[in-house]
Every structure is written in structure tokens, then in C-alpha cells.
Amino acid sequence: MAKKKFDIRIAIIAVLLAVLLAVVSTLAIVVAADLINNYGGGKTDVSSQTSSIPVDNTDTSSTESEDTPSIFVTPTGVELDTKFSRLLLINGSNPLPDDYDTNVRDYLVEIDENYRNNNYVTQIHKDIYPYITAMVAAAQADGVDLKVWSPFRSYSIQNDLFQRQVERVGGDEAKAATVVARPGTSEHNTGLCADFNMADDAFEQTAMFTWMCENAEDYGFILRYPEEKQSITGVIYESWHWRFVGIEVAKEMNSLGMTLEEYVEYKNLDPTMDMYTDDSASKDTEQIKD
């Protein structure tokens, strides 16, 4: 009889232990799920801008974005927003408006001397400043002497370069435009891109180019004019010209093997999106000023 009572006690204790174990493991799962959901959530974004990718996009790849951590902490300790993007498409068929050259001035910032090797053109769009400087700093930390050579260029500077190229090719403007874009059709007029180190074919043979091919997408930059895509971009292969599109977007574009032209079409985006980062430089504001 006593043994039976003892058995019942053991059975009750066993049941209680099992219940306790179930509660503890459920709690552990809840805490783990919460941690995963809040990954990076407590950190401060480098930019207050949110992603420009439409949230109602029904494309299958949109599910991938939910899995990407929203913050990338660079090797030099800079926190970058992986969802931030700048997808303004500028090319021969999608020129900038005439007044863009004036309006964009409100958005330009001076690049610190540590990150550039040119004193002629020294400004870049403020939106991409944290990304480009973090990238150059990371390359330099890796012992690679990456430097910004040519970032933003005004229409006036672009026109000088274009006219020089026209002379070089004997007056053929169309031919010149495949090498130097006409004013208003160059990405350099936006401040969202940069040529690195030398803006020359020799760049392809450098450690800087190798580093960029391996790392640029982590900072939101893509090789804008790949060798095999001239028929799509309208521009010759330029190993030195890199465009900021956004970290998540750059990785997606590279995995899809798409140029910006192809990506904008694939996602059915408005090529003029991200023309201005807020309303302060819109045409309406200009009219009020006048």
C-alpha cells in the first residue's frame, strides 16, 4: 500500500516536471522569436529616409526583403540602413529636367579630403554620403587605396567634358555621348554616383576594382555600366563608375544580373522616382521663390 502511494507521488511530480518543462520551452521560443523580429530594431538608422521600394509590390522577390537585417554594421563601425534606396534612372532616354541642376544644390555635401583624390569636383548627394564614406573607409582599412575621383558634376562642367569629347571624336556628338554623357543625361549630375581613383580603363587592373567587385554591394553600390550591357545602358564599359542604389537593391540587382535600366522595368518603377528626396526642392517651391 505504502509503495503504491509512493508511486502516485512520483507520478504527480513527473507530471509537474513535464508541465514546467513545457512552459519553460514555450517561453524560450517566444523570447527567441522576439529577438529575431527585433534584430537591429533598437539601433539608429543613418538616414531617416525609408525604402523607396513600393511596399505593395507583388513580385515574389519582395518576400526576400523581409529576411534582410535592416542594419549593416560596417567593419569600421558605421551603421547603414539596408532598406534605403535611390533608384532615379538617368540616361540618354531619361534626361533630368533643366532646373534639376539648380535644385540639386540644396542636397550636396562636401566630401571629406580623406575619401577623395580630386580637388576639382568634391561634392556628392547627402543621401549617399554615409554609404560612400563608409565604403571608402572599409576599403582603406583593408589596405586598398580607394578614393573618390569624380562625384557630382554640374551641367556646366558636364558640358565642358562633353564638348571636349566631341572634339576628340571629330565632331560626332552621338559617338561622343557613349563615352561622356550630355549635360542632364549623366548620373554625375545627380550626385548619386562616383568615379573612383582615376576614371580610366586601368582601374580594372587595380586592387581597388577587385575590392569593389567583392564589396561594393554591401554599401549599396553597383557597377553601373558592365561590359556586356552597352546595348542596354547606352554607355561603354566603365570599371570606375559606380552608382548608389541601396544595399538591399544592389544585392538583388547583382543576383538578378540586371542593370538599373532592366531593374526599373522589371519592377515597373517610375524612372523619375527619387528625383528629390523631399518636397523642399520641388518645382512648386521654385515657383514660390520666383
Burial environment of residue 184 by CB neighbours within 10 A (0 to 12, 13 to 18, 19 or more): middle
- Kindly state the smallest distance separating residue 241's Cβ from Zn ion, in Å: 4
* Strand partners for 150: 195
Residue window 168-197: x/- pattern of binding to Zn ion, with contact defined by CB under 5 A: ---------------------------x--
Cα–Cα dist 191/78, whole Å: 21
Catalytic annotation present for 217 = no
Beta strands at 148-150 and 123-125: parallel, antiparallel or unpaired: unpaired
- Kindly state the smallest distance separating residue 193's Cβ from Zn ion, in Å: 6
> Which residue in the block uniquely carries the three cell numbers 556586356?
228
Torsion sign (Cα): 72, 73, 76, 78 = positive
| Backbone φ and ψ of 194, nearest 5° | -160, 150
Cα–Cα dist 68/134, whole Å: 19
Question: In the set 86, 153, 241, 243, which binds Zn ion (CB under 5 A)?
Answer: 241
Report the SS3 class of residue 250. helix
Check 187, 217, 238, 252 and give the catalytic one: 238
Spatial neighbors of 50 by CB under 8 A, at least 6 apart, are 83, 84
> Applying CB under 5 A, does 251 fall inside the site for Zn ion?
no
- Kindly state the smallest distance separating residue 224's Cβ from Zn ion, in Å: 8
Residue window 198-237: x/- pattern of binding to Zn ion, with contact defined by CB under 5 A: ----------------------------------------
- Kindly state the smallest distance separating residue 90's Cβ from Zn ion, in Å: 11
Binding positions for Zn ion, rule: CB under 5 A: 195, 241
Active site residues: 238
